[in-house]
């Protein structure tokens, strides 16, 4: 498949903690994880200039798009958001990671504020699987332990997920719908909460397997159509 990874490059990633977690860069870590599964992967970086490198050609050729963002949500133009949303509604799969819950495109597709409770203190997170038969969770057991992660907690202002795959639990007692599938138009999207930029969550084998399986699950089953339109219906007079 043709995969596009849209990922920020922000100041926290350049800190000693960020460099220790991902010496190669968080975006490159995600890119390599998907290339290991045999996909063709394009990495697009978001920064102060927004996501200008996310061209029409890239969007139009993408089967599944991963989106990781944090600092620069407001820098992404509404024009690009509209184009990505249109492609998603026509069948392109999307995987939203961590702070991408606050991205323009996620909020546009879900139609809510997507606000949540949070605390950045590097707690242990346990992701409990609510459906061990789900393709995203295949072979991963009852739970996945994340040694250090930013706490995300309820209330999480999202519509009721079409499929809830994981619920996160933190040592502070909070719980969070941390692995959710939504169906929008002809497409599917998956939201996964772990992945703060200063913790090496995406190095964990179980997380890498989960995300590769999520990629396969949200991928379009049929070729993506060039436009969304209703068929023309002619009116005929009723003969008496």
Digit-coded pLDDT (tens) for 31-51 = 999 999 999 999 999 988 888
Is residue 227 a part of any domain in this protein?
no
The CA-based angle 228-102-199, given to 5 degrees, is 125
Is residue 166 a part of any domain in this protein?
no
Is residue 193 a part of any domain in this protein?
yes
Looking at the predicted structure, is the pLDDT value of residue 135 above 70?
yes
Which residues are bridge partners to 3 per DSSP? 41, 64
Is residue 160 a part of any domain in this protein?
no
Judged by average pLDDT, the poorest of 65-69, 143-147, 231-235 is 231-235
Which residues are bridge partners to 170 per DSSP? 125
CA distance 67 to 64: 10
Is the pLDDT higher at 228 or at 145? 145
CA distance 55 to 4: 11
For the chain, what is the domain count?
Answer: 1
Is residue 65 a part of any domain in this protein?
yes
Is residue 229 a part of any domain in this protein?
no
Is residue 167 a part of any domain in this protein?
no
Task: Output the average pLDDT for the chain.
Answer: 93
- CATH number for position 82: 3.40.50.880
Digit-coded pLDDT (tens) for 194-216 = 999 999 999 999 999 999 999 99
| Residue 121 pLDDT class (50, 70, 90 cuts) | confident
Return the pLDDT at 36. 96
Is the pLDDT higher at 226 or at 203? 203
Return the pLDDT at 229. 63
Is residue 124 a part of any domain in this protein?
no
Using DSSP's 3-state secondary structure scheme, residue 28 falls into helix
For residue 211, what are the domain limits?
2-114+178-218
């Amino acid at each position: 498949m043709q995969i596009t990874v849209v990922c920020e490059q922000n100041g926290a990633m350049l800190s000693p903690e960020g460099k220790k977690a991902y010496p190669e860069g968080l975006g490159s870590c995600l890119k390599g994880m998907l290339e290991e599964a045999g996909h063709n992967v394009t990495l697009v970086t978001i920064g102060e200039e927004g996501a200008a490198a996310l061209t029409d050609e890239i969007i139009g050729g993408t089967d599944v798009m991963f989106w990781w963002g944090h600092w620069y949500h407001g820098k992404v133009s509404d024009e690009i958001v509209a184009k990505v949303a249109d492609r998603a509604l026509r069948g392109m799969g999307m995987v939203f990671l961590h702070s991408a819950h606050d991205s323009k495109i996620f909020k546009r597709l879900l139609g809510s504020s997507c606000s949540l409770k949070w605390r950045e203190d590097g707690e242990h997170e346990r992701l409990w699987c609510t459906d061990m038969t789900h393709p995203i969770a295949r072979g991963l057991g009852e739970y996945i332990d994340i040694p250090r992660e930013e706490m995300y907690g309820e209330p999480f202002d999202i519509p009721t997920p079409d499929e809830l795959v994981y619920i996160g639990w933190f040592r502070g007692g909070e719980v969070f719908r941390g692995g959710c599938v939504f169906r929008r138009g002809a497409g599917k999207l998956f939201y996964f909460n772990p992945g703060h930029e200063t913790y090496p969550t995406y190095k964990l084998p179980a997380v890498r397997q989960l995300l590769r399986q999520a990629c396969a699950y949200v991928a379009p089953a049929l070729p993506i159509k060039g436009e969304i339109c209703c068929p023309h219906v002619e009116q005929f007079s009723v003969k008496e």
